[in-house]
Structure 1
Amino acid sequence: MTVARHYIMHAKEGMDAALETALRAIADAVRPLPGCEGAELLRDIGNERRFVLIERWVDIDAHKAAAGSLDKGVLAPMMAALDGPPDGIYLDYLIR
């Protein structure tokens, strides 16, 4: 059962390029982790400061286990560019 971990993030004013770079690095770091089936990064066409990161995992437990093995240094640039905490949810695929 593949699940999606969906995050919506907003960049601080003037930090959209920095957040994009940081999220690209996170997606690259997440893809090879055990249980990850891919990661996508999108930007809101109407709001260049809003980004969506979608990770695909074999299940929720795989995502939670991988979080512990992710290099925390890769998260620091994202945290510095964020305007508030990410909004994250798990989603089931109904049609794919």
Structure 2
Amino acid sequence: MSILRINEFRAHEGGGDTLRDRLKVFVPAIKASLGCLSCELLQSQKNPAHIVLLEVWESAEAHQASLKNIPPDEFKETMKLVAVPPTGEYYDYT
């Protein structure tokens, strides 16, 4: 069974577009990772500071292994744009 990973990010006030653009850079590396079935980046129309990254994976282990494909320094810089720590959770995907 596949899994869905929902990651939620909240940008600082007025920083939604900047955070979206920074996260968008990671999408090709995620999609190219072994076990990734899809990856979509969404920005709320009502609250542009709310960004969601939806990832479908063959397994949670494949997702965990893919984290090595994201440059740590770039990710650290991107996390400076969030107002609160991001959240993420796995869901059964049928």
TM-score normalised by L of structure 1 = 0.87
1:61, CA displacement in angstroms? 0.7
Report the secondary structure of 1:45's partner residue. coil
Alignment of 1:84-95 (within 5 A): 84-94=84-94
Q: Which residue of 2 aligns with 1:36?
A: 36
1:80, CA displacement in angstroms? 1.6
Q: Distance in 1 between the 2:28 and 2:69 partners?
A: 14
Which residues of structure 2 form unaligned runs of 5+? none
1:22, CA displacement in angstroms? 1.1
Report the secondary structure of 1:85's partner residue. coil
Alignment of 1:3-14 (within 5 A): 3-14=3-14
Letter in 2 for 1:16: G
Does the Cα contact within 8 Å between 2:17 and 2:48 map onto a contact in 1? no
Does the Cα contact within 8 Å between 2:6 and 2:52 map onto a contact in 1? yes
TM-score normalised by L of structure 2 = 0.89
Which residues of structure 1 form unaligned runs of 5+? none
1:20, CA displacement in angstroms? 0.7
Q: Does 1:26 align with 2:30?
A: no
* Number of aligned residue pairs: 94
Alignment of 1:13-92 (within 5 A): 13-92=13-92
Percent of pairs with identical residues: 30
Report the secondary structure of 1:23's partner residue. helix
1:74, CA displacement in angstroms? 3.2
Q: Distance in 2 between the 1:81 and 1:64 partners?
A: 23
